[in-house]
Amino acid sequence: MRWDNNLQPYKRGAWVHLYGNPLQAWNVDFFKLCVFDCGRFLRADSCSADKDRLDFARVLIATSDLEIVKTVETVLVDGSMVEVKIVEEWGY
């Protein structure tokens, strides 16, 4: 195949869990902010978006990183810094 400048680099889909989300910031826009450095937000699962369970949020991202995603993001919520742990779902 001939080289094309419009080719996109490799991306893979990864479901990640977000732990430590404050309830006052529990929404899809906050999830997008949390995963900004990990990859591109694709969608949140329905249980997370509908607040059916509040122990963690489950989000699908597109990432070029081949390693398992495991990081901590610090986000400002209502004047206080909150640490959100981001851990990839794997091994199923």
* Cβ proximity of 26 and 75 under 8 Å: no
Sign of torsion, CA 90 17 55 85?
Answer: positive
What is the domain partition of the chain in residue ranges?
12-88
pTM of the model: 0.84
Quick one: pLDDT at residue 30? 95
Q: pLDDT, tens digit, for every residue of 53-72? A: 899 999 999 998 889 999 99
